[in-house]
Amino acid sequence: MENIEKHLQGLVSAYIADRYDLTITTFEFQQTRKEFKGDITLVTFPLLKPLKQAPEALGQAIGVYLKEKSVFVTDFNVIKGFLNLVLDDAYFIRFLNAIASTSSFGHRPITEKAPLYLIEYSSPNTNKPLHLGHIRNNVLGHAVANILEAAGNRVHKTQIINDRGIHICKSMVAWMDYGEGRTPESTGIKGDQLVGNYYVRFDQVYKEQIAAGLAAGKTEEQARTEAPIFVQAQTLLRQWEAGDPTVRALWKKMNQWVYDGFEKTYAALGVDFDSFYYESNTYLLGKSIIDEGLEKKLFYTKDDGSVWVDLTDEGLDEKLLLRADGTAVYMTQDLGTASQRYKDHPSMKGMVYTVGNEQDYHFKVLFLILKKLGYEWAQSLYHLSYGMVDLPSGKMKSREGTVVDADDLIDQMTQTAAQLAKTHGKVEGLSQSEQAKLYHQIGLGALKYFILKVDPKKRILFDPEASVDFNGNTGPFIQYTHARIQSILRKAPSIEKVLDETVPLEEREKAILNLLMQYPSMVKQAAEQYSPAVIANYLYDLVRAFNSFYQNTPILGVPPQSVQDFRVLMTQKVGETIKNAALLLGIHVPDQM
């Protein structure tokens, strides 16, 4: 609606200048609410004070003026302070003609001088496989990257791999004590899953040793800190930081098992990255930044040798930056990673961290510390905080082995999609390989759409069965509509000429074109808000409007030819927009299902 808004703004500005001798050039337009007649609405409330007019009278006067002066405004109505304008059918057909040859309508081209955004997502630990929570993280971060690109920005997709620390040492100790030399090759178990099994084993043994300590009369604290397997893990961490060659060799071997496993999961999920940062490298840079902060007297050392920052003046608390034994904490490596990324990408306009909301406080502290250190680029950091994903069975816990494994969930979604597709008879004429590809697309589409249609800040109760439904606000419903459109277009003749602007439009057709016009602004809004939910819910509105049209209006074989041409081209552009918008969410829409 951007062009019509500029057209109307010019006319309203001219009216006010002529009638009130005032210069006002900015006005608020919005889509007309569904319960009222109209296509675009001028909100008059901001004009009441400077023009000293009642809302109904002002709306009526401007409406009469626009109906007389604009070639597009055919009628209007005033509801309190809202002037609802009815646009001429020719305007909508002119719009459709204008985008007829544009397959990427709504997406802005990316130039070399376009702003650069770094998007961090995934960022797993190398002591366990990816799980359902990681899936929300990955599909959210990847979709935000796609949307920012569609809005005309350069994007660099990255992650920080937490490949060192006490949690990694726990898996290593358990494998050393109980692994008996098992490898992914010898067991046939995916590498990240194998390592995760030993993380769970550590926790089991640790709990047993704590219970034994308590039975022997130790305090809770003593039982936890003196448990033999925990002492082993602490010793291993110190040896790792000291560069012990044997420990480092085992660490590299087990981490590689995990990386190989992650790659398979990322490929199945359809996400990718442009760069990888590793905590084992950036924590050293973080330590140098801590030295810098000590020199500037922004940080201080306690008697036990640990390093802290006092943020109480900013309404926060004291934050540990380095343990007493000199080992790093998460904040250490995050300081180093942020600094290294800026060195690698000094032109970046923004850095978006896709991390769950349980880390809200951590990122407040991180950003504040970087600002206190005087880094100007710290102003461009943003935490894309999202809610957790729950299951009917409750919260997941990695160390207890109660997580929903990402690979298992992807397989389950594919199997569920296969069962429903076969039940609905949507696979006739497809080969076995085509069916397998289709089931994967439907399953992943269901999973991603269920997650992304919800505002990122909200918590999700994930229901696999409900997500793979061919009706309602679901991924498969959107995919099926696209397949239906392709079926229509396969039967339709090609359109060689410009549409006749005198074709009369039905309300359902105008509703669809109104939605198509909104697509560029939806992409812009989603990028500004870092919210794929804007695109997901727009998609549902567009698909629902098209299905209402399809069920009530014939597309092919209707006279005159000009009407069929219009409906075919409109159907084609709806199909393209569904495909383009779905791809922003990482969802592939099949041509047949």
How far, in Å, CA of 493 to CA of 204, rounded? 67
Residue of 309, 315, 351 lying closest to 331 (CA atoms):
309
What tokens were used for 202? 């550590």
DSSP one-letter code for 3 = H
- How distant is the alpha carbon of residue 431 from its chain centre? 33
Q: What is the pTM of this model?
A: 0.91
Alpha helices in 475-560 (DSSP H): 475-491, 507-529, 532-552
What tokens were used for 459? 């918590």
Place of tokens 């000291």: 242
Handedness of CA 151, 153, 157, 160 (dihedral sign): negative
Residue ranges of domains in the chain, CATH in brackets:
2-87 (3.30.1360.70), 121-400 (3.40.50.620), 407-584 (1.10.730.10)
How far, in Å, CA of 119 to CA of 122, rounded? 10
Q: What is the DSSP string of 439-499?
A: HHHHHHHHHHHHHHTS-TTS-EE--HHHHS-SSSSSHHHHHHHHHHHHHHHHHSPP--SPP
How far, in Å, CA of 257 to CA of 83, rounded? 64
Q: What are phi and psi of 28, to 5 degrees?
A: -100, 115
Q: Tell me the pLDDT of the chain (593 aa) as tens digits.
A: 557 889 999 999 999 999 999 999 999 999 898 899 999 999 999 999 999 999 999 999 999 999 999 999 999 999 999 999 999 999 999 999 999 999 999 999 999 999 999 999 999 999 999 998 899 999 999 999 999 999 999 999 999 999 998 999 999 999 999 999 999 999 999 999 999 999 999 999 999 999 999 999 999 999 999 999 999 999 999 999 899 999 999 999 999 999 999 999 999 999 999 999 999 999 899 999 999 999 999 999 999 999 999 999 999 999 999 999 888 888 999 999 999 999 999 999 999 999 999 999 999 999 999 999 999 999 999 999 999 888 766 444 444 445 688 999 999 999 999 988 887 766 777 899 999 999 999 999 999 999 999 999 999 988 877 888 888 899 999 999 999 999 999 999 988 788 999 999 999 999 999 999 999 999 999 999 999 999 999 999 999 999 999 999 999 999 999 999 999 999 999 999 999 999 999 999 999 88
Residue of 421, 466, 465, 463 lying closest to 441 (CA atoms):
421
What tokens were used for 577? 């927009």
Listed in sequence order, the residues at least 6 apart from 376 whose beta carbon sits closer than 8 Å to its beta carbon are none
How far, in Å, CA of 90 to CA of 538, rounded? 25
3 state SS of 585: coil
